[in-house]
Chains A and B, each alone.
Chain A
Amino acid sequence: MSASDHSPAAVLNGSEAFPHRHLTGIAGLQPHEITFLLDEAEKWAESNRARRPSDHRLDGITQINAFFENSTRTLLSFEIAGKRLGADVVNMAVAQSSVKKGETLIDTAVTLNAMRADVIVIRHSSSGAVQLIASKVDCPVLNAGDGWHEHPTQALLDALTIRRRRGTVHGQRVVICGDLMHSRVARSNILALTALSAEVRVVAPSTLMPGAIEAMGVTAFHNFDEALEGADVVMMLRLQNERMSGAFIPSTREYHLRYGLTHERLERAKPDALVMHPGPMNRGVEIASGVADDPERSAINEQVEMGVAVRMACLDVLTRKSRGVEGWA
């Protein structure tokens, strides 16, 4: 690995390598701290593949997954990650309607705190909600997605996937295409990938492109074909159902015409370019089935696999202080 991959672990000891109490976002993380989490996750990826028996380092730790917004995949991934490390995992699925009122959100945070959770994983539909909860509890908080703001573990698992498949993130031309405006996955990925010195291009119709996005260090395109030229990685975003008909795009078939990833379109990218998608996919809308299922190109299943490894790493690192791990307590 080259020096430009921001590898820190050799010089920083213990909590110096990751001095943060919570993981509320990629914003605020130094490049070497991101790399540290990726290195930690890499180890878990290997041990998961080797089907080693469960680790027990989180024995006696209570992990609460408080999901204020529906999720299947991310919730399952966090649950498996916690259980593989021996944590007692409790899932709290809260119907969105009952927590729409804010005092309830703070009250919920205070309640979780009173139950002496050791780590809380939160997903919420409002940007900034996870930070708000983190400010009210004594234990580490892990953001599993807040509104359109951030989804840091998704960005970490994407960076890890790119690093494993392409050897490095540095200098990779990554094209992120889709509904940038409403996407926390895009925001966290832009932050992580630019921090790791990738060249990031974003593509969306102007109706789904957030203002001043270039200030985040990316190049904005409205034409997918132009953006794809010479790409190393093509990351497709999910188009939410409620935005498919009329208000933001005329129709799904028109969207597919301009922004759907097909084999033909992919030819503009590098011959060995990697295709990624955070899932769940709308086949035939943002991505053609043939591309999604192409074992040569698609890293979509590996992303899911890396998700568990990254979440194991985050749960381990964030609880080191309370577990009294040497150098972290």
Chain B
Amino acid sequence: MTVTFTNARLVCPSGGMREGDLHVAGDRIADSGGGDTIDLGGKLLAPAIVDLGVFAIDEAACARGGIARVGLMPDQSPVLDDPGIVQRAAAMGKPELWVHPIAAATKGLAGIDLAEMAIAAEAGARAVATGRRWIADSGVMRRVLGYARDCGLTVIVHAEDDGLAGGAVATEGETATRLGLAAAPAIAESLAVARDIALAEESGAAIHFRQLTTAKSFDLVRAAKARGIAVTCGITPAHLYLSDIDISDFRTFARLSPPLRSETDRQAARAALADGTIDILCSGHDPRGPEAKRLPFADAAPGSAGAETLLALGLGLVRDELVTLDRLFALLSANPGRILGLDTGTLSPGSPADLIVVDADAPWRIDADRMAASAGNTPFDGLPVQGKVVQLWKGGARIR
């Protein structure tokens, strides 16, 4: 199939912004073409989102959110530590959503024995991860990083020191103290980051911190990048928009992992996004029903449904002048694609025709009761936002 989009505002992380046409031939972006013409009337045309590190395969939420590919976390039931399970996960969303499994770095995610990384990679895994938790044993982590480097795989890390964060459901500070919630100091994160950067530097492994949320962590990553270490980091909109005060009244939809931080750390996260320290903006999509969320705060499961709000909240960061539009799509598409070893996230000819058409100004209100996701646990319930996905194309075929 050959298609030409006309009258588009093209947003390309590698090529910048331009107005004009884009050709698609077959499943790829092409130099020239003909076929059907789709007049976009000045709407944005951008690479579809690659959402790195989701916990559920949620086609409906992804379609609404403009997400064509997801990196699926290994924390599934059963855990993605076996080639058969990895293979099955990779096939699950097709054709509308491509699932790129991230295999467990250790067997059963237990943090003890090395998982079969090379076999998992042959079965379709694109990276390995420590899962929802940190690997507490430094000896194990050193072997994980060294072995992953041998296999050419990036290690995706959750950075929270268990000794400090174990049992905690909030960040230490006034809000947690007033609410009487078990809390961990923010250095639980930077302590973990410091160790893992040291181990990655020694082994030469590529390491990606899935979510960083504190000023000290960003300082460490900034310094490590300056030394030339292969370190990258991501964040979700929650830690850019919300702080620990949002858990007041025991709002379980704002119970996240890592927990919401102080306002100072939130400002540091926004600065780190603006100065390029943060590489990836992801949803951390983790839909949880009432059985996991309609509970006392400490008993509720952490996590939020974020796939369909990711783009609109990202566009808000552009309006706040923290990032430019093309940089936003580097954060949403190109950079996560690179970590997964994909050739997506660009509008250059020859790349997969994974595309979204966005009405960047369309206003709507986030409504937990009307989400496409399998559960509506969003901490942004009621927030007015702008930006809607009006078309989603995957490999040259229109999904939405």
Given A103-B294, A106-B294, check contact A215 B250 (CB 8 Å).
no
- Closest chain B residue to A151 by CB distance? B180
Instruction: Please name all residues of chain B whose beta carbon is closer than 8 Å to the beta carbon of A100 when the two chains form the complex.
Output: 299
Set B178, B249, B290, B300: member contacting A187, Cβ < 8 A: B178
Instruction: Please name all residues of chain B whose beta carbon is closer than 8 Å to the beta carbon of A128 when the two chains form the complex.
Output: 179, 250, 296-298
Interface set, chain B 142-187, CB cutoff 8 A to A: 172-174, 176-183, 185
Contact call A131/B294, Cβ cutoff below 8 A: no
Set A131, A147, A184, A213: member contacting B298, Cβ < 8 A: A147
Contact of B198 with A by CB under 8 A = no
Contact of A199 with B by CB under 8 A = no
Number of interface residues of B (CB under 8 A): 23
0/1 string, A209-229, CB within 8 A of B gives 1: 011110110000000000000
- B186 vs chain A, min Cβ distance (A): 10
Instruction: Please name all residues of chain A whose beta carbon is closer than 8 Å to the beta carbon of B294 when the two chains form the complex.
Output: 102-103, 106, 132
Contact call B297/A127, Cβ cutoff below 8 A: yes
Contact call B185/A184, Cβ cutoff below 8 A: no
Given A211-B185, A212-B172, A212-B173, check contact A102 B179 (CB 8 Å).
no
- Closest chain A residue to B181 by CB distance? A127
Instruction: Please name all residues of chain B whose beta carbon is closer than 8 Å to the beta carbon of A13 when the two chains form the complex.
Output: none
Contact call B180/A103, Cβ cutoff below 8 A: no
Instruction: Please name all residues of chain B whose beta carbon is closer than 8 Å to the beta carbon of A67 when the two chains form the complex.
Output: none
Interface set, chain A 102-139, CB cutoff 8 A to B: 102-103, 105-106, 124, 126-129, 131-132
Contact of A238 with B by CB under 8 A = no
- Closest chain B residue to A209 by CB distance? B177
Contact call B296/A127, Cβ cutoff below 8 A: yes
Contact call B177/A212, Cβ cutoff below 8 A: yes
Instruction: Please name all residues of chain A whose beta carbon is closer than 8 Å to the beta carbon of B179 when the two chains form the complex.
Output: 127-128, 149
Number of interface residues of A (CB under 8 A): 26
- A110 vs chain B, min Cβ distance (A): 11
Contact of A95 with B by CB under 8 A = no
Instruction: Please name all residues of chain A whose beta carbon is closer than 8 Å to the beta carbon of B173 when the two chains form the complex.
Output: 211-212
Contact call A131/B177, Cβ cutoff below 8 A: no
- B81 vs chain A, min Cβ distance (A): 29
**How far is B182's CA from A161's CA once the two chains are assembled, in angstroms?**
31
Interface set, chain A 131-160, CB cutoff 8 A to B: 131-132, 146-150
Instruction: Please name all residues of chain B whose beta carbon is closer than 8 Å to the beta carbon of A213 when the two chains form the complex.
Output: 177
Instruction: Please name all residues of chain A whose beta carbon is closer than 8 Å to the beta carbon of B180 when the two chains form the complex.
Output: 127, 146-150, 184, 187
Instruction: Please name all residues of chain B whose beta carbon is closer than 8 Å to the beta carbon of A106 when the two chains form the complex.
Output: 294
**How far is B299's CA from A281's CA once the two chains are assembled, in angstroms?**
30
- B252 vs chain A, min Cβ distance (A): 9
Contact of A92 with B by CB under 8 A = no
Contact call A211/B172, Cβ cutoff below 8 A: yes
Contact of A12 with B by CB under 8 A = no
- A37 vs chain B, min Cβ distance (A): 21
**How far is B172's CA from A127's CA once the two chains are assembled, in angstroms?**
15
Contact call A102/B250, Cβ cutoff below 8 A: no
Instruction: Please name all residues of chain B whose beta carbon is closer than 8 Å to the beta carbon of A184 when the two chains form the complex.
Output: 180
Instruction: Please name all residues of chain A whose beta carbon is closer than 8 Å to the beta carbon of B172 when the two chains form the complex.
Output: 210-212
Contact of A27 with B by CB under 8 A = yes
- Closest chain B residue to A215 by CB distance? B174
Instruction: Please name all residues of chain B whose beta carbon is closer than 8 Å to the beta carbon of A126 when the two chains form the complex.
Output: 295-299
Interface set, chain B 244-301, CB cutoff 8 A to A: 249-250, 290-291, 294-300
Instruction: Please name all residues of chain A whose beta carbon is closer than 8 Å to the beta carbon of B290 when the two chains form the complex.
Output: 103
5 new A-B contacts at CB < 8 Å, known A124-B296, A126-B299, A127-B180 = A132-B294, A147-B180, A210-B183, A211-B174, A216-B177
| A–B complex contacts, Cβ < 8 Å, 9 sampled | A100-B299, A102-B291, A124-B296, A126-B299, A127-B297, A146-B180, A146-B296, A149-B179, A211-B173
Nearest first, the 10 A-B pairs at minimum CB distance are A102-B295, A128-B250, A148-B180, A126-B296, A149-B180, A211-B172, A215-B174, A129-B296, A127-B180, A210-B177
